[in-house]
A = this chain, B = another copy of it.
């Protein structure tokens, strides 16, 4: 096989780490098959159906995933006779964390990383447990403070009915398949409802998407319109949750325990096998102890402390979480010795403020996308794209192009 002439062709081999393969953690179980996927996601199941058993699940670590990529890149370069082709890694969300980590730990293998919407700080325990749901709230507040107030008011009514144990009214108002029968059921309901707002904030794209379920364009605005209409707040809340859980309009009622599953990630683990993998990661290395408090956000107070996490993870997986590990292993905010990483974030994305928002050097570049939701920059172009994301993609392409050129001059001649 003739060696690929990267310089001549102007092409580099990019190992795009499809965001779909991991962000299904939050989604509807959309399969990652057909894309390169991290071990234990999609079809990358090292022990087949037994992969999610203890101890087989134990080989699911960030470190092993990165090592897989390193070996895969080495092997692909060999098979493609592409030793001189620079590699750039791309990823969104957790995939963005992996992209950044690859550049931190394997700069010999990858010339640069685009880490889109990568909450590298908050998942390492750096930051504020209230940040996430505060920023979800801010999106709805951005449409109008009346919208935020309506949501808060609806949750307040729900809380009152719950205290009165008027479960049948809760059932009818919220179209639940079964009436709640305990405080635990109400907690589950609150989780399910909060998760709908989380998803709409994350996926507040300017066009309809089918990325994690089906959502209309500008779902936060649609949600606020829905909260403002309707005969009463609880019915509006039900209809708003329906934007996420009943986009087809075919669901006769909401089943509390099949539409939403509580896990070690209070922002939602999604459903299906990928959600198991994500739950395990949230129980070991990735710290997602976000809380709502009804003071800085519009949701009922729902705590998830490190102790809660410990108890849950011991019971579910027989593991003890390591809240300090990610910060040690992947440098936390001590990133100054790294290079060639773009940290892009959209200001509508509740994950954004868990990431790097300010450039740390000329090659550790924060790209902030006004009006952008979760890794909007990684999505295909769309006529409805705001100018900010068009400009962000241009900046990203220019930086990557520069890195590729520099890497080509570094790599040995054929």
Residues of A bordering B, CB below 8 Å: 63, 67, 70-71, 74, 105-109, 324, 328-329, 331-332, 334-337, 339, 410
Contact A329 B70 (CB under 8 A): yes
Residues of B within 8 A of A106 (CB): 328-329, 331
Residues of B within 8 A of A71 (CB): 328
Copies in the complex: 2
Contact B74 A329 (CB under 8 A): no
Residues of B within 8 A of A70 (CB): 328-329
User: With the chains together, A410 CA to B334 CA distance in Å?
Assistant: 9
Min CB–CB distance A124 → chain B (angstroms):
11
User: With the chains together, A335 CA to B331 CA distance in Å?
Assistant: 19
A334 CB contact (under 8 Å) in B108, B328, B329, B336: B108
With A74-B328, A106-B329 known, 8 other A-B pairs at CB within 8 A are A67-B329, A70-B329, A74-B324, A105-B105, A107-B331, A108-B328, A108-B335, A109-B328
User: With the chains together, A332 CA to B105 CA distance in Å?
Assistant: 13
Query: Which residue of chain B is the closest to A74 with respect to CB atoms?
Result: B328
Contact B410 A336 (CB under 8 A): yes
Residues of B within 8 A of A331 (CB): 106-108
Min CB–CB distance A242 → chain B (angstroms):
46
Query: Which residue of chain B is the closest to A335 with respect to CB atoms?
Result: B108
Q: What are the 9 closest A-B residue pairs judged by CB atoms, nearest first? A: A108-B334, A108-B331, A107-B337, A70-B328, A74-B328, A337-B339, A105-B105, A108-B332, A71-B328
Query: Which residue of chain B is the closest to A333 with respect to CB atoms?
Result: B108
User: With the chains together, A337 CA to B70 CA distance in Å?
Assistant: 17
Min CB–CB distance A15 → chain B (angstroms):
15
User: With the chains together, A325 CA to B105 CA distance in Å?
Assistant: 14
User: With the chains together, A334 CA to B63 CA distance in Å?
Assistant: 20
Could you list 21 A-B pairs, sorted by A, with CB under 8 Å? Answer: A63-B63, A67-B329, A70-B328, A70-B329, A74-B324, A74-B328, A105-B105, A106-B328, A106-B329, A106-B331, A107-B331, A107-B334, A107-B337, A108-B331, A108-B332, A108-B334, A108-B335, A108-B337, A109-B328, A336-B410, A337-B339
User: With the chains together, A336 CA to B337 CA distance in Å?
Assistant: 12
Residues of B within 8 A of A109 (CB): 328
Candidate in A109, A324, A329 with the most chain B CB atoms within 10 angstroms: A329
Residues of B within 8 A of A105 (CB): 105
Min CB–CB distance A363 → chain B (angstroms):
10
Query: Which residue of chain B is the closest to A67 with respect to CB atoms?
Result: B329
Residues of B within 8 A of A324 (CB): 74
Query: Which residue of chain B is the closest to A332 with respect to CB atoms?
Result: B108
User: With the chains together, A328 CA to B328 CA distance in Å?
Assistant: 21
Residues of B within 8 A of A108 (CB): 328, 331-332, 334-335, 337
Query: Which residue of chain B is the closest to A109 with respect to CB atoms?
Result: B328
Query: Which residue of chain B is the closest to A66 with respect to CB atoms?
Result: B329
Candidate in A334, A337, A339, A410 with the most chain B CB atoms within 10 angstroms: A337
User: With the chains together, A339 CA to B337 CA distance in Å?
Assistant: 8
User: With the chains together, A395 CA to B375 CA distance in Å?
Assistant: 48
Min CB–CB distance A318 → chain B (angstroms):
18
Residues of B within 8 A of A332 (CB): 108
User: With the chains together, A328 CA to B105 CA distance in Å?
Assistant: 10
User: With the chains together, A336 CA to B329 CA distance in Å?
Assistant: 21
User: With the chains together, A334 CA to B106 CA distance in Å?
Assistant: 10
Min CB–CB distance A82 → chain B (angstroms):
15
